[in-house]
Amino acid sequence: MLRRTNFRHTLLACYLGYVTQAIANNFAPLLFLTFQSEFSIPLSQIAALSSVNFGIQLVVDLLSAKFVDRLGYRACMVIAHAFNAIGIAGLAFFPSWTANPFAGMLIAVFFYAVGGGLCEVLVSPIAEACPTEKKDAQMSLLHSFYCWGVVAVVALSTAYFAVFGVENWRPLACLWAIVPFLNIFNFLVVPINSVAEAGGGHSPISALLKQPVFWLLALLMACSGASELSMSQWASAFTESALHVAKSVGDLAGPCAFAILMGCARTFYAKFSERVDLTKFMLLSGGLCGICYLLASLSAMPVLGLIGCGLCGLSVGIMWPGTISVATVACKGGGTAMFALLALAGDMGGTVGPALVSAASQLAGGNLKMGLLCAVVFPLLMIFGLMRLRKKYWGADQR
């Protein structure tokens, strides 16, 4: 097989890696009510699929710090995309092949959760190790492809259902599985450097855990994940139940607008990174994020609540990729283990944030506005962590 020696092909494969993760995380939730009616599965079990998905990704994040360097980046990315393709296509087949349809769904989720976890851990360090300039801009652009993947999944799937009917969802699952399947062949041939080979070093986990700056970066990642997913995971239900907006309008003005504006924020920084101080931009984003949560939760006007939901995507866009870029400078020599542990922290935040919104809403009698109001703590912690980082670890030569 002809090996492509241009690292632009490597970056393109990484972009498709994040699109693949967007498909894995967002396609099945579009069909939750369809799964419930077609397979007669309780909604409580259907909702657990998302928890299982992210729970498995957390485990993969943790374990990958140990085995990725041994297996190699190429082998792990091929395995990741193969698992994603099997899992996404498996949604169409496994429930019918098993005596218990829910067990079949869990098998499919297991495959694409393992694949998604590996992609999340490896795409960033592979892109970071490419011999390119303006690393922070490249990282922001890279992560924008997750957002564009979400938009594509929601928009194209909605169009497919409108034309062919949601009952014919199985062929669509197979069509979406083509993306990771084709990307397998990209990762078989593109040039791949490890972070250590690119001069990034390779610190053992024990050494990382002894660095105070690493724990601060882990806090920033956790707050990034929580700030993003507390809104994105509840935006559809929030716009429909709390703002009393029609579901079609709410999904476009809520989750879809959130993803579009998040992608715009990342693309903006990628284009103008040389003129923008990264940590100041992140501080402003944290402040805007807090305002968005207050606007969504406290406003009596539905239109202002929708604006708060959408603008929240703009505010959280730079948080995750920005923290990774800061980590490569402030925590030198972290290697693959650093990327894996930061992904773990981000996923933990992405698990805790929506859970806090749910618990607070239930305590308030099912009031989602009160749940989102509690989530304002995450951007506030983000601001605190960034101010601490700038004061103690981010020197004037790095600004």
Mean pLDDT computed over 367-381: 90
Burial class (CB in 10 A: 0-12, 13-18, 19+), 32: middle
State mean pLDDT over 34-52. 80
What three-state secondary structure class fits 292? helix
Span 149-169, pLDDT tens digits: 988 998 898 888 889 988 999
Q: What does the pLDDT average to over 325-344?
A: 82
Residue of higher predicted confidence among 240 and 113: 113
Residue 288 · residue 314 · CB < 8 Å? yes
Q: List Cβ<8 Å contacts ≥24 apart for 70-78.
A: 73/122, 73/125, 73/126, 73/192, 73/194, 74/187, 74/188, 74/192, 76/118, 76/122, 77/13, 77/17, 77/118, 77/119, 77/122, 77/126, 77/187, 77/192, 78/184, 78/187, 78/188
| 226-260 pLDDT per residue, tens | 998 888 777 666 666 656 666 556 556 667 788 89
HSE-CB for 153 with a 13 A CA cutoff: 27
Specify the length of the chain in residues: 399
Residue range 67-90, pLDDT digits in tens: 887 888 899 999 999 999 999 999
Mean pLDDT of 217-226: 93
pTM (two decimals): 0.84
Identify the CATH number of the domain defined by range 1-192: 1.20.1250.20
Shared fold status for 1-192 and 200-393? yes
For residue range 123-147, what is the model confidence (pLDDT) as tens digits? 988 988 888 777 788 888 998 999 9
Domain boundaries, the chain: 1-192, 200-393
What is the DSSP-derived secondary structure letter of residue 2? P
CA distance 143 to 165: 32
Whether 154 and 259 have beta carbons less than 8 Å apart is answered as: yes
Domain 200-393: give its CATH superfamily. Answer: MFS general substrate transporter like domains (1.20.1250.20)
Which tokens sit at 211?
A: 């660095």
